[in-house]
Amino acid sequence: MARARRHETLRPRSEIDMTPLMDLTFLLLIVFMIAAPLLEYAVDVSPPRMDARQPEDEKNLVVSMNAEGRLFVGKEPVTLGELRLRLAALCRDEPDLAVFIRADENRPYGEVIAIMRTVRKAGLENVSLVTQAEDD
């Protein structure tokens, strides 16, 4: 009888404890859920408030102008001339690319129009302005 118990205790387990793996999976999911919105707009800009519909197309490029008037394509700073060259190159590859302009609400109207003019001169026609939702 003692011999039978000894064989049971020495037999290897073929099961894996999944609890630590599930804990890790949920922890990573929570971290990415919190970090993803922060990575979307890396440049600190406060666009003006206005109710508008959300863009439907996922294929787009965000051009941002911060409160100091510096331009960014995604997270990378550019000048107006560099922006035109970069957009012209993108236009050759993807002619239906949508360009979203995010400008700080305190920037002069003429500067935002200059960005729009540069986008048009680069050959891209789909240009939109990004705003924040209005408070009721």
Query: How much is the pLDDT for 135?
Result: 64
CA dist 59 and 56 (Å) reads: 9
pTM recorded for the entire structure: 0.56
Structural tokens at position 120: 């048009």
- Are the C-beta atoms of 81 and 115 separated by less than 8 Å? no
Query: How much is the pLDDT for 122?
Result: 87
What is the residue extent of each domain of the chain?
60-129
Task: For domain 60-129, give its CATH number from 3.40.50.150, 1.20.1070.10, 3.30.420.270, 3.20.20.60.
Answer: 3.30.420.270
- Segment (H or E) for 113: helix 109-121
- Are the C-beta atoms of 55 and 97 separated by less than 8 Å? no
CA dist 75 and 59 (Å) reads: 17
Q: What residues in the chain have per-residue pLDDT under 70? A: 1-10, 38-59, 134-136
